[in-house]
Amino acid sequence: MRRPTGFAAFSVLWCGQFLSVVGTRMTNFAVSVWIWDQTGSTTQFTLSLFFAFASTVLFSPVAGAFIDRWNRRLTMMISELGSAVATAALLILFLTGTPGMGELYLVNFVTGAFVAFQVPVFQATITLMMERGNYARANAMMFAVRSTPELFAPLLSALLLTVTGISTILLIDTVSYAFAIATVLLVALPATPKQPDGAAPSTFWQDCQIGFRYILRSKPLRNLETFLVIINVLASTGYLLLRPLVLARTGDSNGSLALVLSTGAIGGIGGTILVAALKSPRDKMRYVLWATVAFSVIGRILYGVSDVVILLGIALIVVHMCIPIIDGYTNTVWQEKVEPHLQGRVFAARQFVEELSIPIATLIAGPLVDHVLTPWMEPGEQGDRLLGGLVGSGQAGGIGLVFVGIGVVGAVLALGSFLVPSIRRIESILPDAEPEPEPASGAGPKTEPTAGAAGAAVATEAVTP
């Protein structure tokens, strides 16, 4: 039987990723609730995420070098299999006793290392599998993989926590990775693009640096990436504090948290459908900047001042509706402007600097809330007297104040970027990259060799001094 190619192959991969992310979202919810119940500490909660994201940052340059050397099937399978093993290890920890925070940090660190491969390899593969006009649609569908499970995974996870326990959730997550691996084996994937004829060979260490140098040499790409990094720091701070804020304002209600997260995911579905259904616009950055304004004002400032569960859900709907526009259209710009044979390394470099914002936000958010803003916002303290009527008191007030601050900064940054030509007009300033040449007529689609053959070849290249 002939393996699916093109959009059909992408759809099969999409299904596997969707099932895998459902399991992962269930695990994330269960573990976050477990940490909060065990410690009640914002710092401990955010540190568990810090180790996962810090690991992704650390391994991103290495991942980029391998993505442009290995075949794409091998890279996808290693990423999924490694994540499955890490989740199985976490399951064993819960089955044999109560894991310590250090053990959770270690498992998150290992998982983050394998996650470093996932986003760059899928972004680079989309460029080869899809026609240029469908990049935004494919990127929106990949965002749906990350957002749609929030519609029901937290509720399902909360139900299983009540009926069975966290071990059942971890088992489901482990099995879900098997489905993702199976889809990678079922489809035909494009061959990894080759270096242009006459290009000087590069060492593995040089490959780790190429993506960064490529971005730094281009003022429009450099400025766009700076914008995205700052927005990521602000968005990551809100992401890290979202669950503690809802729990603090609802009396530690798991049901309310699950309801808010699930309601917000409706926006992700709406935004994904909107981007997928509409023709990719010629002026994508205008949509990106206005979506960032809406994200900041409604999805952050409103979140900071509201303690009504339904309003928190509505604000999160707007957040998830804006993200596929921001994420899908900016990724499309990169896919259109960067040469395919460099995309693994460039996208990994992007991941490095953008994911670096998450450890930065983690180190700032927890201590800032626990040791500075919460004491300042305690009933009767100066902060409560000044701002308590706006954001509330105590821990909820401290977190709410952070949301208001990052919302104001994000809105100002997006509006200011309309005045920066290298960001606002990047699509007309930079030429489109030349697509990879099609195989000769009658030769059939050019797909990847078997994972074993490619792995042996790459193993030899990787150790070349």
- Beta carbons within 8 Å of 281's beta carbon, 6+ residues apart: 287, 329
Give me the chain's average pLDDT, please. 80
The burial class, CB within 10 Å (0-12 / 13-18 / 19+), for 5 is middle
Supply the pLDDT for residue 439: 40
pTM: 0.70
Cα–Cα distance measured from residue 322 to residue 333, given in angstroms and rounded to the nearest whole number: 17
CB atoms < 10 A from the CB of 464, how many? 9
243-286 pLDDT per residue, tens? 888 887 777 777 777 777 777 667 777 888 888 787 878 889 99
User: Average of pLDDT values for 317-330?
Assistant: 87
Q: Per-residue b/e over 399-430, b at no fewer than 16 CB within 10 Å?
A: bbbbbbbbbbbbbebbeebeebebbbebbeeb
Cα–Cα distance measured from residue 75 to residue 237, given in angstroms and rounded to the nearest whole number: 30
Q: Give the HSE-up count for residue 323: Cα atoms under 13 Å, Cβ half-sphere.
A: 25
Q: Where are the alpha helices (DSSP H) in 68-100?
A: 72-96
Collapsing DSSP to helix, strand or coil, 190 comes out as strand
- Backbone CA torsion sign across 229, 234, 237, 243: negative
Q: Where are the alpha helices (DSSP H) in 70-203?
A: 72-96, 101-129, 135-147, 153-163, 166-186
CB atoms < 10 A from the CB of 96, how many? 8
Cα–Cα distance measured from residue 170 to residue 157, given in angstroms and rounded to the nearest whole number: 10
Q: Judge contact between 368 and 402, C-beta under 8 A.
A: yes
163-204 pLDDT per residue, tens? 888 888 899 888 988 888 898 888 887 777 777 666 667 777
196-235 pLDDT per residue, tens? 666 667 777 888 888 889 999 999 999 999 999 999 888 8
Top-confidence range, 115-129, 378-392, 409-423: 409-423
Show the tokens assigned to 158: 């909360």
Cα–Cα distance measured from residue 94 to residue 26, given in angstroms and rounded to the nearest whole number: 15
Cα–Cα distance measured from residue 23 to residue 64, given in angstroms and rounded to the nearest whole number: 26
Closest C-alpha to 350, from 70, 83, 125, 63:
63
The single-letter DSSP state of residue 195 is P
25 — pLDDT class (breaks 50, 70, 90):
confident
Closest C-alpha to 297, from 196, 446, 416, 406:
406
Cα–Cα distance measured from residue 144 to residue 321, given in angstroms and rounded to the nearest whole number: 10
445 — pLDDT class (breaks 50, 70, 90):
very low
Rg of the chain in Å (alpha carbons): 22
Closest C-alpha to 177, from 102, 248, 87, 109:
87
Q: Which residue has the tokens 């895998």?
A: 20
Q: At what angle do helices 6-39 and 254-277 cross, to 10 degrees?
A: 160
User: Average of pLDDT values for 333-347?
Assistant: 87
Q: Is the pLDDT of residue 417 over 50?
A: yes
User: Average of pLDDT values for 126-148?
Assistant: 78
Q: Is the pLDDT of residue 415 over 90?
A: yes
358-379 pLDDT per residue, tens? 777 877 887 888 888 888 888 8
Cα–Cα distance measured from residue 262 to residue 274, given in angstroms and rounded to the nearest whole number: 19
